[in-house]
Structure 1
Amino acid sequence: MVFVIGLMLAACSTSSVMQTAVAPLPSEKYAAIVVDANTGRVLFDQNANDARYPASLTKMMTLYMLFEAIDAGQIGLEEQIPVSAYAAGRPPSKLGFRAGQTIDTRSAVLALCVRSANDVASVVAERLGGSEAQFAAMMTAKGRQLGMRSTTFRNASGLPDDAQRTTAYDMAVLSLALRKRFPHHYHYFSNRDFTFAGKLVRGHNDLLSKPGVDGLKTGYIRASGFNVATSAGLGGKRIVVVVMGGDTAKSRNAHVEELIETYLPRASVAGAGS
Structure 2
Amino acid sequence: MFKASFGSYGSTRTRIGLTKFFRLIAAAVFITVASAGGAAANPKYAGFVIDAKTGKTLYASNADSLRYPASLTKMMTLYLVFEALDSGRISKKTRIKVSKNAAAEQPSKLGLKAGQSISVQQAIYALVTKSANDASTAVAEHLGGSESGFAKKMTAKARALGMKRTTFKNAHGLPNSGQKTTARDMARLGLALREHFPHHYHYFSTRSFKYGKSRFGNHNRLLGTVSGVDGIKTGYTRASGFNLVSSVRKDGRSIVAVVMGGKSGASRNKHMKSLISRYLKKASRKGGGNLIANAPSATRIALPKTGPVPKFRDVTEVRVAMAYAKPQKSSSFPIPLDRPVVGKDALIDSLNKQRAVVAPVPRPRDSEVATAQGSAVQTSAVDRVTTSSTGMPSGWVVQIGATPTRQAAEQLLAEAKAKTGGMISNAQPFTIVTHRDGEQLHRARFAGFDGKSHAWKACKALKKKGYGCWATQQ
TM-score, L = length of structure 1: 0.89
Unaligned regions of 5+ residues in structure 1, if any? 1-21
1-side partners of 2:120 and 2:257: how far apart? 28
2:110 pairs with 1:95: yes
2:261 pairs with 1:263: no
Which structure has more RCO (C-alpha within 8 Å, separation ≥ 6)?
1
Give how far 1:272 is off: 7.7
2:222 pairs with 1:207: yes
Aligned length: 252
Q: For 2:262, which of 240, 243, 246 is the aligned residue?
A: 246
Compared CA separation, residues 272 and 202, structure 1 to 2 (3 A): closer
Identity over aligned pairs, percent: 56
**What do residues 168-213 of structure 1 show as CA deviations (whole Å, max 9, x unaligned)?**
0100000000000000100100112011224322222111121111
Q: Give structure 1 regions of 4+ aligned residues with deviation exceeding 6 angstroms.
A: 22-25
Match of 2:232 in 1: 216
Match of 2:92 in 1: 77
Match of 1:112 in 2: 127
Q: For 1:170, which of 185, 191, 206 is the aligned residue?
A: 185
The alignment partner of 1:206 has SS state of: coil
2-side partners of 1:36 and 1:72: how far apart? 30
Segment drifting more, 134-143 vs 207-216: 207-216
The alignment partner of 1:226 has SS state of: strand
Provide the alpha-carbon RMSD of the alignment. 1.6
**Equivalent position amino acid for 1:107 in 2:** Q
2-side partners of 1:65 and 1:192: how far apart? 22
**Equivalent position amino acid for 1:261 in 2:** S
Match of 1:52 in 2: 67
The alignment partner of 1:135 has SS state of: helix
Match of 2:171 in 1: 156
Mapping for residues 122-201 of structure 1, pairs under 5 Å: 122-201=137-216
Compared CA separation, residues 149 and 101, structure 1 to 2 (3 A): same
2-side partners of 1:172 and 1:41: how far apart? 12
**Equivalent position amino acid for 1:232 in 2:** V
Give how far 1:147 is off: 0.2
**What do residues 87-132 of structure 1 show as CA deviations (whole Å, max 9, x unaligned)?**
0000000000110111101110010011100001101100000000
Give how far 1:270 is off: 4.3
Unaligned regions of 5+ residues in structure 2, if any? 1-34, 290-474
Give how far 1:157 is off: 0.2
